[in-house]
Amino acid sequence: RKEVEQDPGPFNVPEGATVAFNCTYSNSASQSFFWYRQDCRKEPKLLMSVYSSGNEDGRFTAQLNRASQYISLLIRDSKLSDSATYLCVVNPPSNTGKLIFGQGTTLQVKP
Amino acid sequence: NAGVTQTPKFQVLKTGQSMTLQCAQDMNHNSMYWYRQDPGMGLRLIYYSASEGTTDKGEVPNGYNVSRLNKREFSLRLESAAPSQTSVYFCASTLWGIAGEGGYTFGSGTRLTVV
């Protein structure tokens, strides 16, 4: 089993739609969680951290379910500019700062 | 503030040639990392340096060596390039022990093709 698993998609949605991605992780002792965004042929960039209480940043909402070992990202009112690959990232229980990346979920927002 | 700078951005090598990928950060981060990214595989850790003076293997270290030259610089060397090393290489950095706070800052990547 992979340490971090995502549905690669692609998810094709119309502008204005709401879309959700899930990600599962295997190590129950993992400490922290993130969503990164990667545009085509660019470096990944931190989108948001994921907290147990859930957190929201504008149109983006991230949730963590430790009992089921999954995290989610909800995007409301999708924009064309949201088209990208979204990487689920887990910080495992170590003190080296090594992050584990999922292979990414591709979102394509259509006009 | 430049962040993480990688050079070169593009490189084509012949099988058996050697080269060094350079990475430098100006954020006073302790920890630095080299990843490779291949289609369908996601980002895989090659080597990392938790702090100046230390380096450790990641998930896919074979065929690579690294040097943590100082706190700012972390280089990746391919001694004898193979076609399987065709990939996009990313360098990243973070403050040691608080990757959980802000994650990584990535460089813009090096696209390497080995023919």
Cβ proximity of B76 and B46 under 8 Å:
yes
Query: What is the rounded average pLDDT for all residues in chain A?
Result: 91
CA closest to B6 among chain A residues: A43
A30: distance to nearest CA of chain B, Å?
Answer: 10
What is the DSSP track for B54-114? --EE-S--TTEEEEE-SSSBEEEEESS--GGG-EEEEEEEE-TT-HHHH--EE---EEEEE
**Which whole number is the average pLDDT over B78-84?**
96
Chain A positions touching B48 (Cβ under 8 A) are 96-98
**Cα(A104)–Cα(A32) distance, integer angstroms:** 18
Across the interface, which of A8, A49, A96 has its CB nearest the CB of B48?
A96
* Strand duo B10-13 + B110-114: pairing: parallel
Beta carbons of A44 and B90 less than 8 Å apart: yes
Beta carbons of A96 and B100 less than 8 Å apart: no
**Cα(A92)–Cα(A99) distance, integer angstroms:** 7
Query: In the predicted model, is pLDDT for residue B91 greater than 80?
Result: yes
A111: distance to nearest CA of chain B, Å?
Answer: 27
Chain B positions touching A50 (Cβ under 8 A) are none
Cβ proximity of B4 and B33 under 8 Å:
no
**Which whole number is the average pLDDT over B22-32?**
93
**Which whole number is the average pLDDT over B31-51?**
91
Looking at chain A, the whole-number percentage of residues with pLDDT higher than 90 is 74
pLDDT tens for each residue of chain A, 111 residues long:
788 999 999 999 999 999 999 999 999 988 789 999 999 989 999 999 887 788 899 999 999 999 999 999 999 999 999 999 999 999 887 656 688 899 999 999 999
Provide, for chain A, the percentages of residues in helix, strand and coil under a 3-state DSSP scheme, each rounded to the nearest 5. Answer: 5, 50, 45
B40: distance to nearest CA of chain A, Å?
Answer: 6
Span A1-13, pLDDT tens digits: 788 999 999 999 9
Q: CB count, 10 Å around CB of B51?
A: 16
CA closest to A33 among chain B residues: B100
Beta carbons of B109 and A49 less than 8 Å apart: no
